[in-house]
Amino acid sequence: MRESDDLGERIEAKLGLLVKMVALGITDGLPGLGSKACLLRRLGMQPKEIADLFGTTANTVRVSVAIAKRSLRTTGKSRKGKK
């Protein structure tokens, strides 16, 4: 039983590393924490996971996502008005 627990922990650690690498790869080139966090939230990551990835707090991630969403809504409205 001990060996299977150890194997499970090792697999979980490797999988966690893989998720972090993919998350960093798909957000590379996006400007600012807000746009990166928005994408990762849409893909199902929790604020705590995103915060750990970028070396910040979960609250900072939540605020960044809220600001980015507000900015997108404002930009979308102004573009619609121009048409």
Helices (H), 1-83: 2-27, 32-42, 47-54, 58-82
**pLDDT for residue 77:** 63
User: Which pair of structure tokens corresponds to residue 16?
Assistant: 């966690």
Confidence (pTM): 0.77
Mean pLDDT, consecutive 10-residue stretches, the chain (83 aa), reads 85 95 95 95 96 97 94 70 49
Specify the CATH architecture of the domain 2-82: Orthogonal Bundle (1.10)
